[in-house]
Amino acid sequence: MVIVDVECRSKTFLEESLEEMRELASSAATQVVGHVFAKIPSPSPSHFVREGKLAEIATKAKEARANILYFNVDLTPGQARNIEREIKLRAVDRTGLILEIFGRRAKSSEGKLQVELARLNYILPRLGGLGVVLSRLGGGIGTRGPGETELESDRRKIRKRIQRVKEELEKVGRHRELLRSGRKKKHYLTAAIVGYTNSGKSTLLNALTGAGAYVADQLFATLDPKTRMQNLSGRRDVLFIDTVGFIRHLPHTLVEAFHATLEEVAQADVLLHVLDASHPHASACREAVEGVLSEIHALGKPQILVLNKSDLLNEEASREVQSRWPEGVLISAKNGLGLEGLLARLEALVPEHPSGAAAGLPESAGQAPEAFQG
């Protein structure tokens, strides 16, 4: 694992980045056998890291018997290929590692399409490097034309597949728009649950609605959004939408690929921003989420800051957290603590139930109609 600092920050940054990359690698079912720190204020255009550091990486990788190199930065396709030729190991940057995790996590057909689009766009300029196997992408798309090299044929197949996946996702987008129109006609209020990955969003959805969403103490445990309904004191039915977790410097290719899903956030009436209050770098996590919300034009929406995992805080830490974020609601989604206060805050944002809006509502307040399930 190669942890690079290009801005000459403190050693703390390198250690924090290493910890994040360890968590990402663990989520990709990869064992970390060693790491190298490198401060590179002027990255090499050809290899990113300089010649001396590259030799050190090669030596340590050989000693640790590593079979892959993970970088905490994004490499250009040329840099990745050059490193691979030099060290004879596959070089995967941070975006590539996140895509590996997403490939493991996606369960729904929509989630798989979104991940496939992101992976295809990532792989296309990297064809020819080590570890890029076209057969894994779903072969059988077209045949090689006269005079085409194998590489040209692979690129053509990938471009055709990208176009086909985009068309499928456009259909998904239109379908989601129809669902949103139906919600508006029935006066459903939508509350999108957003937050840094592993902040407890799915646990909160379960606590509020009994949804039974998959929960795990790992990054990006939930990729496929789930939508469930709950009634607020008989006044208004709220659709809670659990969304994909955000992360610092979320790769733009993922923001583009998950456009249909992230649009649910942009179109929601209220955002519940779940923050792991016990996280040692909670402020940075909040900033990362707000950065993504800004990118998808959702930062200005009505928002409730949900300070989760209070069960991991002692009394002094709880006071410090509430002092730092007085606008937040301190809860433990896992233990069901503080949910009454959160619902009261949400209810204060909700207008009175419009006349006649109750018509056609489902009998169960714990789950949305099948058409609304993500």
- pLDDT tens by residue, 300-341: 999 999 999 999 999 999 999 999 999 999 999 999 999 999
| Domain 2-92 identical in fold to domain 188-372 | yes
Q: Is the pLDDT of residue 367 over 80?
A: no
Domain ranges of the chain: 2-92, 104-166, 188-372
- H helices of the chain, in order, are 11-27, 51-63, 77-87, 94-105, 109-123, 150-185, 201-209, 252-257, 259-267, 282-295, 315-324, 339-349
pLDDT band at 364 (very low <50, low <70, confident <90, very high): very low
When mean pLDDT is compared across 61-65, 149-153, 179-183, 284-288, the lowest value belongs to 179-183
Average of per-residue pLDDT across 61-72: 95
The verdict on pTM exceeding 0.85 is no
How far apart CA 13 and CA 59 sit, in angstroms, is 24
Fold of 2-92: Rossmann fold (3.40.50)
Of 313, 346, 158, 122, the C-alpha closest to 239 is 346
Measured from the Cβ of residue 1, the count of other Cβ atoms closer than 10 Å reads 26
DSSP string for 24-39: HHHHTT------EEEE
User: What is the CATH code of the structural domain delimited by 188-372?
Assistant: 3.40.50.300
Per-residue pLDDT at 351: 62
pLDDT band at 202 (very low <50, low <70, confident <90, very high): confident
pLDDT band at 75 (very low <50, low <70, confident <90, very high): very high
Per-residue pLDDT at 137: 45
Tell me the two tokens of residue 276.
Answer: 């792991």
Per-residue pLDDT at 96: 92
Tell me the two tokens of residue 213.
Answer: 């969403």
